[in-house]
């Protein structure tokens, strides 16, 4: 069902990118040709965006039929149909039962789901201006549709009948779980409010949908700016990085080298550039995204969003937006999330003090007369790393070829879960020529598991960062439906016949997104709505899979030097292990400060806020080290302000990481990262069950106890108290 449609299937987040001109729209053949013209394929219609997906193994998305101008009429028609389906369920003359109400809702809205999914892929991967504009119409439309369903009194009455009778109607455990979750969700979304309050809540949701789109578009506009460098500004930069800046300039028809205002371009510049003035310039542009007092400034939008959220929470009877947003998570209460964050915070700050002292000492030793400022942090950190561990990030890159690391991730899935990945070409359409499609099967008997789409390379109008998206969730409500998932990265293409080399961080990100994909592919629930897991659980399967990058088997088989094809020498691995907790002060403070500010912002019951003052005050109260800024400052914090999904939810990465670190220890305790019984347990209890059993309970079944925070502290090199 589509009650919570908007962007609900995307994990790892960000913003989106551009209107496709599919490859099938070839120019008309030259009229002089003697050959008879081939019959033209029929022009696509809105029905092509709505109909069941055709193609091999149960169907694939019809990218060759997608036209930007079809989205709005298709989504409008599907919305009307969906509301009619819901009305039919709500006004049935039969007594309400699980099947005619809950299961019927699960079956409804499929055509709208399909069109919206295609559209959200566009906003993520090809978000050109015409898609951005369209998003400003489609998001409010979807929000309106959700509200109409959630506010349908007759429908909610029927859901409540089934809910009240759930213990005496012979429902299975999974059915009962669906009933409770659906009922709770209706309540959370205002189903039992009076008419006046519903009206106001609808207005708030409409206003928020517009503000979210606006926020995202403004930040994206600021990210599509750049600092232009000339040859003399390049000191210290590795050659592949220079080439990527050159390519970015060429793409924008500029002479020189463009450091585009995205993290993937900015972070390596700050790490390697010896030009302090340019570092400051690039850093400043980056942290001021959305905060330049111009047409892309987002501060006024934040004021509105936070205020409306507080008002909505009050309408619904919650203490604050955070209390509302967290009511369906594992943590449940903001206080529990804050408690965990504040347990880690002091150790991280103490570590930063040490890191800054080390960098200052090295700068002095090098004769650099300066005080470490935020734009110096990555640069001197890299120098300390090199001095202390004799470890150069670039040395690693020579061993991490993108194609090899993709193969390594498939190897992991094969050894842990028995999956096989086979690329299919020619028979399945794609939304961009860079996209590759893989069929996933069970290796032992060839059973079809699903499809994986990969879109690995950066380009204009593609959202920055890395993310996973589920195009089609697994379920077996009627006939079995298999998962279709995608992994999306922003790697820079190499020159002709050159391999794409990625960093260790990149390799871990690759495994992270692939972990999300494995989670969706492995899901085995009857009802579609039980396939999604709480926000603070969903990063657990992804984070735990990062650990397999550095296992001996993966390194020996796949981390081969791109020139010599030699294995990574033991000495390099030892150095890297020795340095594994290096820089955890910076990484933890950068992340946690953002997560804590998010929570403080959304626990204020009044929601009256001046974003700049709020950020300053909150950070001062925390004792934020002045050499670090939040990973996302409020004016560019897309997790919080492009949808409700991650608002009061940025803590989720830490919450999930507690489980990820503790679960990885379960493998380590066996002395075998591939330990078959542990992998089987992980697959069957954690990955396959969706949210069909309570996630805390599932964790206990896997580990025999609740997760402990000690493994996470140890991983980051913090004292375990």
The residues annotated with a catalytic role in the active site are 513
Residue 402 CB neighbours (<10 A): 21
Which residues, 6+ apart, have CB-to-CB distance to 696 below 8 Å? 330, 706
x-or-dash pattern for Zn ion, window 673-692, by CB under 5 A?
A: --------------------
In angstroms, give the least distance from the CB of 516 to Zn ion. 6
CB of 506 to Zn ion, least distance (A): 14
Complex with Zn ion: residue 323 or 545, whichever CB lies closer: 545
Span near Zn ion by CB under 5 A; candidates 4-12, 490-498, 667-675, 697-705: 4-12
Cβ closest to Zn ion, residue 182 vs residue 522: 522
CB nearer to Zn ion: give 311 or 505: 505
Tokens matching residue 329: 């998570």
Alpha carbons within 13 angstroms on the beta-carbon side of residue 475 total: 21
Q: Is 227 left (phi over 0), alpha (psi -120 to 50) or beta?
A: beta
Contacts of 49 (CB under 8 A, 6+ apart): 62, 65, 66, 70, 71, 74, 114, 115, 118
Q: Which one, 539 or 590, has the nearer CB to Zn ion?
A: 539
When asked if residue 316 is in the footprint of Zn ion (CB under 5 A), the reply is no
How far apart are the C-alpha atoms of 605 and 557, rounded to whole Å?
Answer: 54
> Which of the 8 DSSP states describes residue 193?
S
Tell the smallest beta-carbon distance from residue 286 to Zn ion (Å).
Answer: 22
Q: Among 434, 426, 499, which Cα is nearest to 461's?
A: 434
Q: Which of residues 455-514 bind Zn ion (CB under 5 A)?
A: none
Tell me the C-alpha distance between 229 and 255, whole Å: 9
- Nearest approach in angstroms of CB 13 to Zn ion is 8
The residues in 192-231 that bind Zn ion, with binding defined as CB under 5 A, are none
CB burial readout 210-235, b (16+ within 10 A) else e? bbbbbbbbbbbbbbebbbebeeebbe
What are the φ and ψ backbone dihedral angles of 678, each rounded to 5 degrees? -70, -40
Q: Per CB under 5 A, which region of 8-16, 225-233, 265-273, 526-534 contacts Zn ion?
A: 8-16
Q: Which of 6, 10, 12, 501 binds Zn ion (CB under 5 A)?
A: 12
| C-alpha torsion 122→126→128→131, nearest 10 | 0
> From the CB of 210, what's the least distance to Zn ion, in Å?
27
Q: Which residue is nearest to Zn ion (CB)?
A: 12
Shortest gap between Cβ of 204 and Zn ion (angstroms)? 29
Comparing CB distances to Zn ion, the nearer of 138 and 712 is: 712
Instruction: Measure the CA–CA gap between 138 and 71, rounded to whole angstroms.
Output: 9
- Comparing CB distances to Zn ion, the nearer of 298 and 547 is 547
Interacting stretch for Zn ion, rule CB under 5 A, among 9-17, 186-194, 352-360, 446-454?
Answer: 9-17
Residue range at the interface with Zn ion (CB under 5 A); choices 12-20, 272-280, 625-633, 655-663: 12-20
Could you tell me which of 99, 96, 112, 193 has the C-alpha nearest to residue 146?
A: 112
Pick the closer one to Zn ion by CB: 539 or 662: 539
What is the nearest approach in angstroms of Zn ion to the Cβ of residue 11?
A: 5
* Nearest Cα to Cα of residue 344 among 571, 512, 593: 593
What phi, psi does 483 have (nearest 5°)? -75, 145
Q: How far is the CB of 523 from Zn ion (least distance, A)?
A: 16
| Choices 5-13, 103-111, 384-392, 634-642; region in contact with Zn ion by CB under 5 A | 5-13
What are the contacts of 97-104 at 24+ separation with CB within 8 A?
97/162, 97/169, 98/162, 98/169, 98/171, 98/175, 98/179, 101/155, 101/158, 101/159, 101/161, 101/162, 102/159, 102/162, 102/175, 102/178, 102/179, 102/182, 103/477, 103/527
Comparison of 542 and 642: residue with beta carbon closer to Zn ion: 542
**List of residues 6+ apart from 673 with CB closer than 8 A:** 547, 548, 551, 553, 667
For residues 528 and 106, the answer to whether their CB atoms sit within 8 Å is yes
Residues in the interface with Zn ion (CB under 5 A) total 3
CB of 12 to Zn ion, least distance (A): 4
List beta partners, residue 622: none
Q: Compare residues 12 and 145 and give the one whose CB is closer to Zn ion.
A: 12
- Binding residues among 532-561 for Zn ion as defined by CB under 5 A: 539, 542
Binding site for Zn ion (CB under 5 A): 12, 539, 542
């Amino acid at each position: 069902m589509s009650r919570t449609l908007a962007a609900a299937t995307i994990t790892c987040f960000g913003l989106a990118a551009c209107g496709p001109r599919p490859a099938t729209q070839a120019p008309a053949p030259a009229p002089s040709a003697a050959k008879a013209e081939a019959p033209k394929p029929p022009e696509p219609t809105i029905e092509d965006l709505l109909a069941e997906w055709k193609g091999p193994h149960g169907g694939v998305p019809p990218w060759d039929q997608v036209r930007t101008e079809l989205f709005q009429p298709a989504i409008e028609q599907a919305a009307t149909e969906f509301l009619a389906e819901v009305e039919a369920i709500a006004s049935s003359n039969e007594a309400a039962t699980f099947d005619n109400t809950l299961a019927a809702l699960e079956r409804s809205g499929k055509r709208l789901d399909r069109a919206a999914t295609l559209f959200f892929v566009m906003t993520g991967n090809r978000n050109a201006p015409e898609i951005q504009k369209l998003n400003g119409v489609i998001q409010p439309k979807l929000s309106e549709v959700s509200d109409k369903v959630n506010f349908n009194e007759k429908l909610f009455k029927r859901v409540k009948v089934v809910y009240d009778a759930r213990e005496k109607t012979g429902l299975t455990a999974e059915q009962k779980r669906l009933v409770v979750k659906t009922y709770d969700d209706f309540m959370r979304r205002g189903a039992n409010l009076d008419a006046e309050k519903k009206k106001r809540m609808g207005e708030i949701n409409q206003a928020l949908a517009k503000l979210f789109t606006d926020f995202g578009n403004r930040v994206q506009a600021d990210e599509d700016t750049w600092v232009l460098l000339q040859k003399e500004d390049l000191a210290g930069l590795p050659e592949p990085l220079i080439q990527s800046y050159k390519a970015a300039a060429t793409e924008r028809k500029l002479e020189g080298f463009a450091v585009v205002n995205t993290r993937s371009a900015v972070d390596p510049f700050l790490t390697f550039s010896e030009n302090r003035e340019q570092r400051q310039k690039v850093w400043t542009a980056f942290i001021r995204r959305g905060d330049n007092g111009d047409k892309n400034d987002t501060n006024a939008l934040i004021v509105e969003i936070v205020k409306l959220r507080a008002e909505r929470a009050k309408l619904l009877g919650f203490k604050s937006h955070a209390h509302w947003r967290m009511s369906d998570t594992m943590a449940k209460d903001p206080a529990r999330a804050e408690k965990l964050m504040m347990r880690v915070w002091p150790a991280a700050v103490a570590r930063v003090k040490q890191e800054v002292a080390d960098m200052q000492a090295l700068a002095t030793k090098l004769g650099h007369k300066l005080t470490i400022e935020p734009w110096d942090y990555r640069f001197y950190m890299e120098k300390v790393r090199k001095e202390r561990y004799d470890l150069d990030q670039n040395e690693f890159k020579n061993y991490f070829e993108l194609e090899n690391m993709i193969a390594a991730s498939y190897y992991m899935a094969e050894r842990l879960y028995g999956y096989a990945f086979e690329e299919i070409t020619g028979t399945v359409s794609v939304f961009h020529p860079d996209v590759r499609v893989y069929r996933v099967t069970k290796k032992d008997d060839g059973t079809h598991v699903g499809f994986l789409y990969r879109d690995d390379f950066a380009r204009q109008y593609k959202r920055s960062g890395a993310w996973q998206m589920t195009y089609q969730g697994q379920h077996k409500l009627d006939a079995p439906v298999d998962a279709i998932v995608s992994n999306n990265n922003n790697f820079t293409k190499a020159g002709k016949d050159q391999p794409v080399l990625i960093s260790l961080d990149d390799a871990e990100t690759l495994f992270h997104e692939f972990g999300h994909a494995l989670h969706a592919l492995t899901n085995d629930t009857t009802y579609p709505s039980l396939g999604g897991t709480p926000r603070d659980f969903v990063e657990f399967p992804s984070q735990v899979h990062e650990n397999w990058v550095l296992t001996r088997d993966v390194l020996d088989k796949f981390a081969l030097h791109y020139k010599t094809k030699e294995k990574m020498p033991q000495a390099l691995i030892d150095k890297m292990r020795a340095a594994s907790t290096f820089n955890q002060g910076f990484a933890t403070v950068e992340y946690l400060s953002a997560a804590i500010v998010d929570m403080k912002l959304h626990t204020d019951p009044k929601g009256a806020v001046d974003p700049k003052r709020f950020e300053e005050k909150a950070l001062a109260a925390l004792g934020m080290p002045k050499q670090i800024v939040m990973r996302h400052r409020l004016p560019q914090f897309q997790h919080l302000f492009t949808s409700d999904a991650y608002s009061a939810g940025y803590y989720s990465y830490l919450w999930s990481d507690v489980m990820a670190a503790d679960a990885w220890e379960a493998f380590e305790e066996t002395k075998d990262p591939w330990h078959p019984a542990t992998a089987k347990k992980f697959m069957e209890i954690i990955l396959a069950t969706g949210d069909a059993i309570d996630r805390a309970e599932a964790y206990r079944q896997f580990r025999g106890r609740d997760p402990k925070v000690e493994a996470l502290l140890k991983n980051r090199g913090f004292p375990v108290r």
